[in-house]
Structure formats: C-alpha cells, structure tokens
Amino acid sequence: MMENIKADLDRYFQNNSRSLNPSVKKKIKIIGENYGVHAIFVYRFGYFIESIINDKKLNLIKQLLLGAYYMLNFFVIKMYDIRINRKAKIGKGLYITHFGGIVISNCILGEHCTVNQRAQIEGDDFSSNEELCHIGDNVWIGPHAIIKKGIKIGDGATIAAGAVIRADVEKQCLALGNPARIVNKNYDNSILNV
Amino acid sequence: MEKGNYSFRRLINDLEADLMSYAKNLLGPEQITFWDRIKIVFKFPTFWLLVFHRYRFWVHSRFKNKFIRMGMKIFSLLGQRIFEIITKSEILSTADIGPEFCFAGKGGVTLGAKKIGRGCIIYENVTIGRDHLYNIPELGEFVRVGANSVIYGGIKIGNGVIIKESTVLTKSVPDYCIIQGNPGRIVERLGNRNPNKVTFI
C-alpha cells in the first residue's frame, strides 16, 4: 500500500510544482489543496483491507477496519463527490485533478493514469473480470468523459473532454466526440500532464 | 492580474451588481426588495463563493507586501474552503471576473478563465479552462454557458455568445452566435441582435 501511495504522491508533486522534490512547506500545501489525494488515500486503505486480511480468525479486525473505511468513504463522497469502488484494481501513480462527479466503478486501471473532474468509468460488482473495463497504462481521461462497461482501452490512449466511449480504443489513439471516433492514431499525451 | 487595478470601491460595486444579477435571473424581474437580498445571501451558496473570490482578488491587487497579504487572506481561506466543498466548485485565483456575474444552478463548476466580461451566466457542472498557466480561455460580455458543457484550451469567446447545454468547445468563436454539439459548432448567427433579448434554452 505504501509503495502505491508514494507513487501517487510523486505524481502530485511532479504535476503541481516545477521540481520533482519540493520543500516540505510546499508538499503540505499540495496535499492540502488537492482533494483528489484524500480520495486516493481512502481507496488504497479500502483495497489494502481486502487484499491483506484473508484469514477467517482475523474477521473481527477486518470488520472494524471496514467500518473505519466506510466512515472515511462517506465523508469523501459527501464532501468531494469522488466515488471510487474499493474493489477496483488501480495501478500505482493515479492522478485525480479537481473534484466533483468522479465515478470509478469496478474496473481494471493501469499505472500512471490521469482522471479529470466529472469523468465516469462504468461497471458493477457482480461481473467477472473479463466483463469489466480494461484500461492500460498512461491513459489520460478528460473531464466529463464517460466510459461504458466492458470497454478495452490500450496503453497511452487519450480520451478527450466530453467523449462518450462505446467501442474499444487501441493504444496511442486520441478519441473524441459523442459517440467517440478516433481522430489521431499516434498521439502523445505527456504534454497534457502539466 | 494587474496590480492596483481592482479598487475597494470596485469590489463593492461588483458585489452589488452580482446581487442584482442573481435577483434578476433566479428570483424574477420584479423590483428587488430588502428581503430579496437576504434571501439571495442565504439561499445561494455560490454567491458566497463569489464574495470570497472577489475579496481574495482585491487583496492580491491592493497589497504588495507578502505578510499583509497572508494576514488578510486568513479571513477568506477557511470560508472559501467550506463553500468550495458545499458547492463542489473551484475558481482560479487569478480569474478576473466582471460585474453582474451569476452562477445559475447548484454549482459543480470548475472555473479557470483568464478574463470574464460583464453579465455572464454560468449554469451547473461546467468546466472552463485546461490548466492554470497557459491554456486559459477568455470570455466576452453577456456570454451564457449551459449545463454540463466544457470550454477547453486557450481560446477566445466573443460577446453575446450562447453556449447550449452539453457542448464541448475547443475553438475560438466570433461575436453573437449560438453554439451546440460535441464537438461544438455554430448553429445560428444572431447578427447585431441584443443578446439580452434572446431567450435561453
């Protein structure tokens, strides 16, 4: 868990300040100002409970920790309107910009992804792994974008602002519009992460 | 943001104009009474977000000393955080918002414009701007932005433009027209008609 959180924080420090290693004062400012970090902390805690404690003898401790998680998650949903399912498998280095209306349901999200405000990834708790969304590494999901259930998105793809994805997107593609069409087949999204 | 450009008198005048705009757009075109003012202050939390933003903008414009700025900003910091969370909205601290501004709707607005002209109305769940330094749009006078729309990148929007709901706009737009669609296109040109007379939605 700590490894993933460290990667997330590195992502935030890199995007919010010019240097990779800002001063302690600036680090506190970045963590306080970005509400997305708090939501990621709570998600990582919830996923940690599920993945580490499998022993039936420790069921009581698990239930207590889950109670704490649900309370924290309640505050995240009511205050920031960021809903991340704790069963979703999210790689290290997630970056959530702004807040409000973000929904990450049960899905498989790669490493170093970016999720903007009001983006939605659909899914449910009852489907098997093959039926869920598979999203690769370094994917940039724009504001107000909607990704329907069971869509496969390749590495390094870019989902533009307001796009509604109903079909699979291959790697390094730029998809925009409603319904989404692929405009550029070799698009570099590293400039979008300011 | 230019230093010393935003005086205390302008702050008060702008807030008075905002109050009138809220009354006109959300309560009705009748004569505004004292109770209407109280109603706006307690009914619409987005108005308080504007108050704190304008206060912070004035502090940045008026005081050049770093420590006085910090002291003045302590008043606004906590209130701004609380109303940001209540309304789920964020406003870029360097955004120069003109008078008669109005947030129609519950909020959910991410507002990162460089400059907004007089008499603009923004509905709920709108995103304006891409980042905080380079790709910031500029809005003209009497622009209306419908719900769930996105204005993205360093573009320029003319006077009297009407952006309909669920539009995604990434290109500059001339004066007096209606825009709709994803990606957004010009649907109708209004010519020199008064934008105030055109009914919205």
The answer on B118 and B196 residing in a single domain is yes
Whether B155 maps to a domain, the answer reads: yes
Task: Compute the average pLDDT of residues B23-31.
Answer: 84
Residues B75 and B148 in one domain: no
Residue B120 and residue B84 share a domain: no
Backbone angles phi, psi at B138, to 5 degrees: -130, 125
Is the Cβ pair B170, A194 closer than 8 Å?
no
Asked if residue B2 has pLDDT above 60, the reply is no
List residues bridging with A121 in a β-sheet: A104, A147
Q: Is the same domain home to B121 and B201?
A: yes
Please name the residues in contact with B95: beta carbons below 8 A apart, sequence gap of 6 or more: B53, B57, B111, B112, B113, B114, B115, B116
Q: Are A139 and A163 in contact (CB under 8 A)?
A: no
What pLDDT score does B193 carry? 62
B24 domain residue, yes or no? yes
Q: Which residues of chain B does A80 touch, with a Cβ-Cβ cutoff of 8 Å? A: 85, 88
Residue B127, classed as helix, strand or coil, is: strand
Confidence tier at B117 by pLDDT (50, 70, 90):
very high
| A23: Cβ contacts below 8 Å, ≥ 6 apart | none
CB-CB under 8 Å, A162 with B150: yes
B33 and B81 inside one domain? yes
- Hey, are the CB atoms on B88 and A81 less than 8 Å from each other? yes
Mean pLDDT of all residues belonging to chain A: 91
Q: Tell me which of B82, B90, B127, B166 to substitute to probe the interface with A (most A C-beta atoms closer than 10 Å).
A: B127
What pLDDT, on a 0 to 100 scale, did the predictor assign at position A54? Answer: 79
Decide if pLDDT at B196 tops 70.
no
Percentage of chain A with pLDDT > 90? 77
User: How far is CA A32 from each of CA A25, A35, B100, B176, rounded to the nearest angstrom?
Assistant: 11, 7, 32, 42
> Given CA atoms A91, A96, A99, A100 in this order, what sign does their dihedral have?
negative
Does any domain span residue B104? no
Let me know if residue B94 belongs to a domain.
Answer: no
Q: How far is A150 from chain B (nearest CA, A)?
A: 23
pLDDT digit string, tens, across residues A100-109: 899 999 999 9
> In this structure, are B2 and B73 located in the same domain?
yes
Q: Is residue B99 situated within a structural domain?
A: no
CA distance B168 to chain A (A): 6
Largest CA distance in chain A: 54
Among B89, B127, B133, the residue with its CB nearest the CB of A144 is B127
pLDDT tens per residue across span A48-96? 998 887 778 888 999 999 999 999 999 999 999 999 999 999 999 999 9
Q: Where are the beta strands (DSSP E) in chain B?
A: 90-91, 96-97, 102-103, 110-111, 115-116, 121-122, 127-128, 138-139, 144-145, 150-151, 156-157, 162-163, 168-169, 177-180, 185-189
Q: Give Cα separations from B154 to A191, B18, B37, B69, B157 (angstroms).
A: 15, 26, 36, 29, 10
pLDDT for the residue B201: 42
Mean pLDDT of A12-30: 88
Give yes or no for A179 touching B (CB within 8 A).
no
Residues B180 and B130 in one domain: yes
> Based on the domain organization, do B117 and B161 belong to the same domain?
yes
B45-62 and B34-43 helices, crossing angle to 10°: 90
Same domain? B132 vs B170: yes
CA of B34 to nearest chain A CA: how many angstroms apart? 33
- Residue A52: what pLDDT? 81
In a domain, B96, yes or no: no
Q: How many CB atoms lie within 10 A of CB A20?
A: 8
Kindly list the residues from chain B whose CB atom is less than 8 angstroms away from the CB atom of residue A144: 125, 127, 148, 150, 168
Say yes or no: A60 contacts chain B, CB-CB below 8 A: no
**Tokens 């360097």 sit at which residue?**
B94
- What does the mean pLDDT of chain B come to? 88
Structure confidence by residue, pLDDT tens digits, A150-165:
999 999 999 999 999 9
Is the residue at B97 inside a domain? no
Looking at residue B177, which CATH number applies to its domain?
Answer: 2.160.10.10
Contact assignment for A118 to B125 by CB distance below 8 Å: yes
- Side by side, which strands form the sheet with B138-139? B96-97, B115-116, B138-139, B156-157
pLDDT in tens, B142-164: 899 999 999 998 999 998 899 99
Structure ipTM over 0.90, yes or no: no
- Please name which of A96, A177, A81 lies closest in space to residue A140, comparing C-alpha atoms: A96
Res B4 pLDDT > 70: no
Q: Which of B32, B57, B88 is the last residue of a domain?
A: B88
Query: Is the Cβ–Cβ distance between B13 and B92 less than 8 Å?
Result: no
Q: What is the pTM for the complete model shown?
A: 0.91
Share of chain B above pLDDT 90, in %: 59
Residue B177 has pLDDT above 50, yes or no: yes
CA triplet A134, A192, B181: central angle to 5 degrees? Answer: 80
Any A CB within 8 A of B161 CB:
no
Split into its structural domains, chain B has a count of: 2
CA terminus-to-terminus distance, chain B: 34
Tell me which DSSP letter residue B173 carries. B
Q: What is the average per-residue pLDDT within B69-77?
A: 87
**Domain co-membership, B65 together with B128:** no
Query: How far A156 CA sits from the closest chain B CA (Å)?
Result: 20
- By residue range, what is the domain housing residue B68? 1-88
**Token reading at A106:** 């049960």
pLDDT of A190 above 60:
yes
At A112-147, the pLDDT tens digits run 999 999 999 999 999 898 899 999 999 999 999 999
Q: Tell me the CA end-to-end span of chain A in Å, nearest whole number.
A: 26
Least CB–CB distance from B110: residue in A98, A160, A178: A98
Residues A33-52 have a mean pLDDT of 91
The DSSP output letter for A108 is: E
Task: Give the pLDDT mean for A19-37.
Answer: 90
Question: Is B131 within 8 Å of chain A by CB?
Answer: yes
Residues B2 and B74 in one domain: yes
Closest-CA distance of chain A to residue B182, Å: 5
Statement to judge: residues B57 and B142 lie in one domain: no
Of all residues in chain A, the one with the smallest CA distance to B88 is: A100
Question: Residue B55 has what pLDDT?
Answer: 93
